[in-house]
Chain A
Amino acid sequence: MAILKVDEIGSPVLSVAARRVDQITPRHKRLAEDMIETMYSTPGSVGIAAPQVGVSESLFVLDVSGHKKTNICHGLIVLFNPQILTASDPVVIREGCMSVPHLTGDVRRASQVVVKGVNIDGEEQVIQTDAFEARGLLHEIDHLLGKLFIDRIDGPHALFKRKRYL
């Protein structure tokens, strides 16, 4: 296992759509493990998408356990080729992202979602969730589409400076 370097805004890999993963190989399993370790070792981080560690493939990890805004919680989620089946009830929350360390922004996203993907064992998984887990899924799926929260910002006055990601 290893802690991976997280790419920051300006890195081209963050702005292109990630490739679909047709076959989950041992390399993907190692990558997922390293992404999980990187996520857990970064204070505040609840998710990482593969493009954030320089790999343009459709995979993310997410774990919102214990977060104050979490309601429904699936624990650790590792998902390949995720697709949003339904998304509703948008709310505005101020988001931060490891790949955009100097800014936060008010972003409107659905708070009720159903997402489908493939888990680490190659099985189809359908996740119905809400609140902060829904937000996390949508934020990570955006990374796989080559989008940062800045692409979804609520307007020019909704972007804020901060010192650093936590």
Chain B
Amino acid sequence: MSRFVLTAVGPDSYGIVARVTAALSDLTCNLADSRMSNLSGHFAMILVVEGANELDERGIYNAVQSRCSELSLLVDVKRIDEEVDNDLDGERFVVSVYGTDRPGIVAGICDVLAAHHANIFDLATRVIETGASSVYTMVLEVALRDSAVLAELEEALTHRAKELGVTCSIRSSDSEEL
């Protein structure tokens, strides 16, 4: 079996997912993991695709483009060679950040997270226009390798948020077993 990361981005329209996945289905590929979202009118998809050993990047690219020729999709296919460590260990937290839009909010907050070994596994940002100004919002899911550093992390985030002029909070997102 061979694995690939496929990214495809283009102006949103009906049928993008249907066509891209039909092309993959024609090649009897499986979608192992995927995330797709409409970002400011552009539909962006990132997929991990698994298929037969003899598949190659060019073959997948051509199959997708031939199904989607009139969609102006930007498509990229890259083979994944080694098995990456998919480490989901650690206590889970949600971090919420918002404030007046300015450069460096994401970089500033994520720098603090990295320094505390908080592994980001999901992140979304949105800009909300509120008449006079625009407000930036960011929500992240992180796994904290060592939850003993939580208090220290919280303090560092508050400090950095103050420098950036934004509000930042962190809370547990552990699940309840039923």
Contact = CB atoms under 8 A, between A and B. Distances in A.
Nearest to B33: A161
A139 B178 contact: yes
A96 B88 contact: no
Interface in B124-155: 124, 141
Contacts, number: 44
A166 B176 CA distance: 10
Contacts of B92: 160
Contacts of B141: 160
A29 interface: no
A96 B124 contact: no
A95 B177 CA distance: 6
A162 B141 CA distance: 13
Contacts of A161: 88
B120 to A, nearest CB: 13
A157 B89 contact: no
A94 B124 contact: no
Contacts of A97: 177-178
Interface string B155-178: 000000000000000000111111
B122 interface: yes
Nearest to A139: B178
Nearest to B139: A157
Interface string A43-62: 01111000000000000000
A113 to B, nearest CB: 14
Interface residues on B, range: 10 to 19
A82 interface: no
Contact of B176 (A95, A140, A157, A162): A95
A93 B171 CA distance: 13
A165 B175 CA distance: 10
A5 interface: no
Given A160-B141, A162-B88, A94 B178 contact: no
A69 B174 CA distance: 12
A165 B176 contact: no
Contacts of A160: 92, 141, 175
Given A157-B122, A160-B141, A93 B89 contact: no
Interface of B: 88-89, 92, 122, 124, 141, 173-178
9 contacts: A94-B173, A95-B175, A96-B177, A97-B177, A97-B178, A132-B176, A135-B176, A161-B88, A165-B177
Given A94-B174, A95-B175, A149-B178, 11 more contacts: A45-B178, A46-B177, A47-B178, A69-B176, A94-B173, A97-B178, A132-B176, A135-B176, A135-B178, A136-B178, A161-B88
Top 5 A-B pairs, shortest CB-CB distance = A44-B177, A104-B175, A94-B175, A139-B178, A96-B175
